[in-house]
Every structure is written in C-alpha cells, then in structure tokens.
Amino acid sequence: MNQNIHDLFNLSGKVAVITGGSGWLGSAMSQALAEAGAHVVILDINNDAITTLIDSFKKEKLSVTGMCIDVMQDKPLRASIDKVAADLDRLDILINCAYAGPIPLLDDVRFEDIDKGLHNGPGAYCIAAQQAAKHMRVVGGGSIINIGSMYGMVTGYPDVYEGLTSPSSIVYQAGKAAIIHMTRYMAVYWAKDNIRVNCISPGPFLQRDIPERMPEFARRIAEKVPMRRYGQSYEMKGVVVFLASAASSFMTGQNIVIDGGWTSW
C-alpha cells in the first residue's frame, strides 16, 4: 500500500516523552517532535530550563509540557512515565537522552565511578524503556530511541584535548557502548510487540558557547571531521522524527551515526 510521505512523517496524535529534553541536543529533538505534531513531555532535573524552553515553544504554538524529576532515580522515573500515559491516555514515543555521570580521568577512575556511570547511562535508559514499553503495548506498539555517541564506537583522539581540557571519560564511553548494544537487545525482544528500538549516536556537537570560549579546542575538533566542522543541534531533528515516525516502520535495532564522517576515517 502506497503511503504519502507527509503522512509517514506525521506525528499528530502521538505522545512522546524525552528525558533530558531541555538540554543542548534534547531541546532540538523536543522541538522536532512537537513540530511534527506530537505532544511532547520533557522530563528533566533542571526546572528553570524546562520552563524557559516550554515558554519559547508555546510562542510557536507547539504542544509541549514538562516535569521536573531526577530521571536517574528508579521510582520517580517509573512514576513520571506512568503519569504521562495516564494523563494523556497513551504513550507512543520515548527518547532516552539524559545523562549525568562522572567523568574521571583513566588513572583516577574508581569502582564507584563505573557504578554511577552505568547507573546514570544504560541503567536509567533501560528502566525508562521498560516502563514505556508497558504503555506502548496498550496502543499497539511504539518507538524507543536511545541516544548513544560516536564515543560508544570509537575512542577520542588524545591530542584534541591535550593542554586544553579533560578527555572524554572512559566511564562515559563505556556507558555509550553499552547503550548501543542494549538497543539491539531491546529491539529483538520487543519486536513481537511492535515496539521498535533504535539508537542515534551523535558525533562532535559542541555546546553553543564552546567555539567562543575554547576556539582552539573547536578548531582541533573540526580538523578531525571529514566535513571540517562540528554539528549544530538542529541537525539532530530530522533523524529523530524519522525514527519516531512511520517513515522508519521496518527499522529496528539500528544505530544511526551523525558525526560528519568522523567514524569513517
């Protein structure tokens, strides 16, 4: 049966939850889902950021609400997802984006750093997905999107960081690698429920202030990218709508890398 391309990407009537949805990449993805027609619920620990973001979205007449919670805690995370489903009568999309783990140097890492990193990364993602899946089964399926990283596939270049800032942590990178494989595991086990699970692995997306605050670091990063630049947050919007919508209906267990070619070297 032929499907119109506009219908395939249309998220009208869908309810989406995004953890860490007021952050640098999270806010762009929240906006994208709302622009595609979904009602978006942002779960984040930063209440001021949630409020500011929702106010700006309302000016664009986008359907976005938020809840201030610590998504790294089991009971509040489960309860918030249950509340969204109860209040809005459904849950169709989950974006796991939040992360707040430790970033120790390799020579300084401790057992507790690894425990916390895995708790706040793949642990929180798994609990959120598990809870969301219960509600997705009720509506006949859904889409779960985990946010990984190119650093879950390759490690960083030490010379990019040398003399400027601390390198990306082994704890962070191990957690992101786990998330990529966890995505495949979920996809296989929940396929029978019509719940698709995919991963997006961003490459170098520098926070807004870094190029001005750390111009040499930004230059070094860009030098490592075949496209000779770093990503802009809006460049996450297309792929998140694609994976959340019927446009990717025969796609599950995949990891889409958005890195300007970094991992192709």
CA distance 262 to 136: 35
Give catalytic status of residue 172 as yes or no: yes
CA distance 103 to 217: 18
- Active-site residue, selected from the candidate residues 172, 185, 189, 230: 172
Residue 75 CA: distances (Å) to CA of 78, 147, 179, 203: 5, 22, 21, 32
The answer to whether 91 and 15 have CB atoms below 8 angstroms apart is yes
The answer to whether 235 and 258 have CB atoms below 8 angstroms apart is yes
Residue 195 CA: distances (Å) to CA of 48, 62, 96, 243: 33, 26, 15, 12
CA distance 247 to 207: 30
| Active centre residues (catalytic) | 172
